[in-house]
Structure 1
Amino acid sequence: MSDTPTLDLDRALGFAILSRSVRGRLVRIGPALEEILAAHNYPLPIERLLGEALVLTALLGAMLKDDQGQLTLQAQTENGVVDLLVADYRAGELRGYVRFDAERLAEMPVEPSLFALFGKGYLAITFDQAATNERYQGIVPLEGASLCEAVSDYFERSEQIPSLIRAHVERIDGIGCVAGGMLLQHLPEGEEGGERLHVRENDAAWEHASVIGGTVKGEELVDPSLPLETLIWRLFNEDEAEVRVLSAAQLAKGCRCDPDHIAEVLLKFPDEERAEMADADGVIAVNCEFCSRTFPIPLERPA
């Protein structure tokens, strides 16, 4: 038998506290996060920012019932040190990218605030349902001390769903960068698994669950030796008669850039525009910012 401990990484796990009409989800990302970060030599503040964004994307994306649906989280500003952050989730696959001003970032403290990084910006969360071809997008100001607070603000403003969100990012010896997070929500009216009631901020059942959930520690969220099921039990077993563990999802890095798809997209441009894109050898170089790869696409495709 191997003495090597099993590490609980790259997984999302849902749970529900039915007696309190509360649903929750835990996410912990390790090797998948390292693979995403490896495409760019991000400095530590940007690494932490992207790690938090990917955790939030996985927490929200794992709620999609459509396997081919996509959740995209995008934060953008015109004059910030970070002018674009984008992360998305589809069927357990994650990808993310941050565009920033390296010179301005180097002049900032080691742990800059969210406002210092973005200034005045906005956060957009987009749900694309492939099965029904429907898209829903909520946009809120990029405010608060962290991305977690900004997403909580999104749920308050756009969904009117009381939510508790926690995330933590840390480098762990022998493993690399690990990001973990938890999402707790009061079930909205008619949600499966909960009573048909109107969600209220001052609901005593929700207040109790959110206080208990708020005791989770950052080191617990990223501890690869602590199974997610055990963390749920540790938080809620003393106060709840039943906590139901729901579906789990494996997480992986998935850029989805494909030369054939890129070529098909380029064919939709007029011939004159495609000719302007090509170099002297008749090749159009298309960059994928997510995975930091360049795809050479011939201007003239073989017959």
Structure 2
Amino acid sequence: MTANLDTLLGFTIPGHHARGRLVRLGPVLDEILAAHRYPPVIEKVLAEALALTALLGSTLKDDAGQMTLQAQTENGVIDLLVCDYRDGELRGYVKFDGDRLAEIPADPTLFALFGKGYLAITFDQAVSGERYQGIVPLEGTSLADAAENYFCQSEQIPTLVRFTAMQGGDDGCRVGGLLLQHLPEGEQGRERLHTRLDHPEWEHVRMLGETIRGEELTDPDLPLETLVWRLFNEEDEVRLLAEASLRKGCRCDPAHIRDVIGRFPAEERREMAGENGVISVDCAFCARIFPIPLETVES
């Protein structure tokens, strides 16, 4: 891992009841994209979605928990976009209509890609078994707009989201992201349903966050800690959290697949198998087909 790539840094600004996270993906992004030959437009959307997934998933206090981001449409070029995060591991996948993609502009709006759709963000806590899900319409001109709308409608938390993606070139693809939030009543905030939007101090933090430049988000020679300093060096106190490394993680190993298949009744397992007695399982995330002999499951 390059020192300033595939990494995430959290911070808080106690004096303004704000918290933030910065993420920058490089080799991990290339590894995820390599499983599919996505057109550049689809690559960009998935890169931004993976950055958002990392920013949100890293807020989980339960290491075994999982955060899932899903965007689905009724009549868009993109039928389905799914990303998830668990303990520093990222994966993502996009299903789209290639013929319809060829008919839209080279730099399409969010509506051109998704049409009428929704954004769902789900937090699953492994220890407590609790699940929290928020669903909002996909609105705005970009995925960043849609994410801000999610926090405004679903959690009532003032939020600033910024993404910049760089594609191709000798250094591969890179994407950087910023998530900045106001948490009324202290750094930890109050319960989601009781937050308020009446704190003018948020405008100060938001305006500083908006000065971030795209090249700063993607520059592999710029430490994230330095970027936090550039944005907020005039504040009385900024607390940095521990930096976290990110990696590709797809849970589609044969042992796990056999375990899942083994939970089905024997009759259903036999119906899944072909004439050769093999159950073929297709993992959309990593574009691999796993042949699972029926006899290995039954034994």
TM-score range, shorter chain: over 0.9
Deviations 1:122-181 (A, max 9, x none): 110000111111111000011111111111111111111111111111126332110110
Q: Residue 204 in 1 paired to residue 200 in 2?
A: yes
Cα distance between partner residues in 2 of 1:77 and 1:91: 29
Give the drift of 1:267.
2.2
**Residue 299 (structure 1) aligns with:** 294
Cα distance between partner residues in 1 of 2:113 and 2:127: 37
Deviations 1:35-80 (A, max 9, x none): 0000000000000000000000000011111111111000001221
Give the drift of 1:188.
3.6
**Residue 183 (structure 1) aligns with:** 179
Q: Residue 231 in 1 paired to residue 227 in 2?
A: yes
Written as runs of structure 1 = structure 2, the 5 A alignment for 1:148-297 is: 148-171=144-167, 173-189=169-185, 191-192=187-188, 199-237=195-233, 239-297=234-292
Deviations 1:69-123 (A, max 9, x none): 1110000012211010000000100000000011111222111111111110111
Tell me if structure 1 keeps the 8 A contact 2:19–2:187.
no
Cα distance between partner residues in 2 of 1:227 and 1:46: 28
Unmatched segments (≥5 aa) in structure 1: 1-5
Tell me if structure 1 keeps the 8 A contact 2:17–2:186.
no
Cα distance between partner residues in 2 of 1:190 and 1:213: 19
Tell me if structure 1 keeps the 8 A contact 2:5–2:24.
yes
TM-score (norm 2): 0.94
Deviations 1:204-235 (A, max 9, x none): 32110100101111111111111101111111
**Residue 136 (structure 1) aligns with:** 132
SS at match of 1:176: coil
Q: Residue 91 in 1 paired to residue 105 in 2?
A: no
Tell me if structure 1 keeps the 8 A contact 2:14–2:186.
no
Cα distance between partner residues in 2 of 1:66 and 1:271: 35
Give the drift of 1:249.
1.0
* Deviating more after overlay: 110-119 vs 44-53: 110-119
Tell me if structure 1 keeps the 8 A contact 2:189–2:195.
no
Cα distance between partner residues in 1 of 2:263 and 2:14: 50
Q: Which amino acid aligns with 2:242?
A: S
Give the drift of 1:201.
3.0
Q: Which amino acid aligns with 1:74?
A: Q
SS at match of 2:179: strand
**Residue 13 (structure 2) aligns with:** 17
Cα distance between partner residues in 2 of 1:172 and 1:261: 34
Unmatched segments (≥5 aa) in structure 2: none
Give the drift of 1:299.
1.4
**Residue 38 (structure 1) aligns with:** 34
CA pair 199-266 structure 1, distance change in 2 beyond 3 A: closer
Give the drift of 1:294.
0.7
**Residue 118 (structure 2) aligns with:** 122
Tell me if structure 2 keeps the 8 A contact 1:18–1:193.
no
Q: Which amino acid aligns with 1:244?
A: R
How many corresponding residue pairs?
294
- Percent of pairs identical after alignment? 65
Give the drift of 1:269.
2.3
Cα distance between partner residues in 1 of 2:122 and 2:184: 19
Cα distance between partner residues in 1 of 2:227 and 2:67: 26
Q: CA RMSD in A?
A: 1.7
Q: Which amino acid aligns with 1:26?
A: L
Q: Which residue among 60, 69, 77 is the counterpart of 2:73?
A: 77
